[in-house]
Amino acid sequence: MLMNAFPTCPCLSPQSLPTCFSCPKLEELQLSSNDLAEVPACLQSMRRLRSLSIDYNELQQLPGWLSSSLSALTSLDIAGNAIQALPEGFGSGELANSLLTLTATSNALTGLPSSFSRLR
């Protein structure tokens, strides 16, 4: 559980990661079932992150920076949230070259961005 990982950090809450959370060499991160309302911005610095599980939270959208900042990401699990649309640039940029697996079941998606047509 994340709360136990940083017991002395006063900025921890179940809804977001602390701003003091920085692990640039981290390759896998499991944030499932933490009642997160947004993807923590501190993930932008995790350039080596290959696998991100942020499923079963309270996400309603994904940040636009996700497709350009996480260039090593090969697996993304966003299932079980309330996401209605993926960012338009989601199928382009760095993420389009690295992402192999996207799990987006049990969301409120009504379609895919037109940039998905460029994926191979």
**How far is the C-alpha of 9 from the C-alpha of 30, rounded, in Å?**
19
* pLDDT tens column, 64-78: 888 888 889 999 999
Q: Is residue 29 part of a domain?
A: yes
Determine if the pTM surpasses 0.95: no
* pLDDT tens column, 74-114: 999 999 999 999 988 787 778 888 999 999 999 999 988 88
Q: How confident is the model at residue 37 (pLDDT cuts 50, 70, 90)?
A: very high
Q: Is residue 118 part of a domain?
A: no
Q: Is residue 93 part of a domain?
A: yes
| CATH code of 40's domain | 3.80.10.10
Residues 73/51, Cβ–Cβ less than 8 Å: yes
